Amino acid sequence: MTQASPPTIAPRDPNVVMRLARLGSFHQSRLSFMRQLLRRMAAEQWRFDVPAFEIDSAGVGHAVYTAHGPERAYSLVAFSHDLPPEQRSDRVIATAWDATFTLFDGIPTDADIARLRGNVPKQEAGRISDRELSLSRANRSVRLWNHVIDALSEGRQPDQSLVDTVGYLMRTTAVYGSGKFGAADREYTRHRPECAGPFQIEMLSVYLTRAFVMDLVEHMARARAPLTAVPLDPALRRRFGIGNSTGLGMAPFLINHPQLLNAWIAAREEALARVRSLPTGGAAEVEAFRTFVIRAQMHAQSWSSEHPLQVEKLDALRADMAALATHLSQADLTSDYPWNRLWLWAQDHLSMEGQEQLASLILEPHGTIVDQLASCMSAEEHTAWPIDGTMPVSDLRGIVEDVYGWALKIDWTDPAPCARVWYVSEAKLEPRLGQRFEEPLEAYEQPLGPGRDAARLHAALQDTEATTTAAFLLRRPEFRHIARRAQMAARLPYAEIRDNTLDARMLPIDMLRLKLSFFGACHFDPRSDRWLRINMYQHAPFPHELDRVTGDDWTLPPLPLAAE
């Protein structure tokens, strides 16, 4: 491994990075969690098998997909159902699904399967145990599902353009981990190397789900027409990802886990700073980068959405990619801090979509100085939350002015900046977003507006006679939450979203995209301002292909064969 020279260019200012519009323009990168998982499994030569596939011709039954790592095995237990169309909904209020899943810690016995069959199909209404690590479900994309079964059963390959338009045969909705509904807590597995990184269990569950779904569709085509059915062509097969529908529930996670948010963003920003600090560009890296740009251009072209905001962003991204290609046709990437020069050019010529796409792209050829940062992306969350009560009140005030300066400039007596209220609904116990001045919700408000809370804290600190944070908080306990956040953000520059999460114009999808980009998702397709669809693992090698893969080069669409 080559050693990076000490960075000469500092990571970006959190006041630039941590704005919602920019965070909502992030793209997947080498540091994304599904790429971390596949790199590990390929490097460690994980082995995969399917010890059970007991599914009838109507698609009802169960299957087990086992991933064998160096020390431990993990099994996706899949239950496949025959769902009436009128019950098919991706919303969290749904009560039945086309398929339901759990990731089992080890290899399940028949007794385990019987227990899980009584619970996993019920999802939130069932109960799993500390032998299980995740709980999830998926629904079919009906139009593509039917098309693929029709085609394969008649001995034809499905239409590639339809495959590319939809992108997946099933989309997961919730993927629950970390102790949800009785599953094992993260601390039970976090000391295992393969579980140490963020969301590795959930990413493995979804990766195996994709393999199951593809096997299922081929199985059902064979069941329909055993004499004529054909399997999918391997290259076309890889163009299927696994979809995901994600709603508001994911947004509060980022605010509730400031250390983790800091760890993710800091790793990416450090990676960007390292590459920008390289004095020269190596011939192989430059060549690889130019290819990645072409592939990213193809990705931007194939990314579709009907949502007006995303349509606008996609237009900008495509224009950005064209501008980047033109610029690269003449730009020298070999000398005089070429990546930094390119980066500075992008600041003046590309939209935020394009800038953040470029940030991910210039990391691509630099795995040797980037990938090691993946190990910095988890957080020991129990260590950093105590409040330093001995801190003088004047210091706390200084921190608030530094971290939340943007919030102190807002007139909080105006209704628009605090128009929204985050709350949890009685019915599904899920986070929701309401209108503060139109619905009686304020009494149920969740602490998800740090900017407003910091402004209130700042005002209270001006008036207090207390000299230490502890004395102040003993009298004003309502500020403990924000005082802790402020102290944490003073140590961890990217811990806090530096934007107003209560504003009338705030877009929750920006928070969702931030998180999903770190997962490694592509094709963000907002369906409203607060839920969206994505594609995961599109173009990824399947488990049985992992040993043939060299490098970590699967995410962007492959070049057409003739151009390779």
Residues that bind other proteins (CB under 8 A): 85, 88-93, 129-130, 139, 141-143, 178-180, 182-188, 245, 247-248, 306, 382-383, 385-390, 423-427, 429-430, 432-435, 439, 441, 444, 447, 469-471, 473-474, 477-484, 508, 527-531
Kindly state the smallest distance separating residue 438's Cβ from other proteins, in Å: 10
From the list 346, 330, 338, 221, the residue with the least C-alpha distance to 277 is 338
Distance CA 389, CA 472 (A): 9
Q: Which is nearer to other proteins, 257 or 341 (CB)?
A: 257
Instruction: Write the single-letter amino acid at 335.
Output: S
Q: Which is nearer to other proteins, 40 or 140 (CB)?
A: 140
Kindly state the smallest distance separating residue 529's Cβ from other proteins, in Å: 7
Kindly state the smallest distance separating residue 403's Cβ from other proteins, in Å: 17
- Please report the DSSP string for 332-388 in residue order: --SSSSHHHHHHHHHHHHS-HHHHHHHHHHHHGGGHHHHGGGGGGS---TTTS-S--
Kindly state the smallest distance separating residue 233's Cβ from other proteins, in Å: 25
Kindly state the smallest distance separating residue 494's Cβ from other proteins, in Å: 21
Distance CA 106, CA 211 (A): 18
Please check whether residue 275 is in contact with residue 339, taking contact to mean a CB–CB distance below 8 angstroms.
yes
Q: Which is nearer to other proteins, 302 or 468 (CB)?
A: 468
From the list 21, 132, 17, the residue with the least C-alpha distance to 77 is 132
The sign of the torsion formed by the CA atoms of 221, 222, 228, 232 equals positive
Q: Which is nearer to other proteins, 6 or 85 (CB)?
A: 85
Distance CA 23, CA 385 (A): 24
CA 495 to chain centre: 17
Q: Which is nearer to other proteins, 186 or 327 (CB)?
A: 186
Compute CA distances 380 → 33, 197, 330, whole Å. Answer: 18, 11, 46
Kindly state the smallest distance separating residue 365's Cβ from other proteins, in Å: 38
Q: Which is nearer to other proteins, 119 or 340 (CB)?
A: 119
Kindly state the smallest distance separating residue 177's Cβ from other proteins, in Å: 10
Residues 6+ apart with CB under 8 A from 46: 67, 68, 69, 70, 543, 546
Tokens matching residue 122: 């019920």
Q: Which is nearer to other proteins, 44 or 381 (CB)?
A: 381
Kindly state the smallest distance separating residue 432's Cβ from other proteins, in Å: 3
Compute CA distances 275 → 11, 323, 358, 368, whole Å. Answer: 11, 21, 12, 11
Kindly state the smallest distance separating residue 178's Cβ from other proteins, in Å: 6
Q: Which is nearer to other proteins, 62 or 484 (CB)?
A: 484
Q: Which is nearer to other proteins, 140 or 276 (CB)?
A: 140
- Kind of pairing between the strands at 241-246 and 168-176: parallel
Please check whether residue 404 is in contact with residue 461, taking contact to mean a CB–CB distance below 8 angstroms.
no
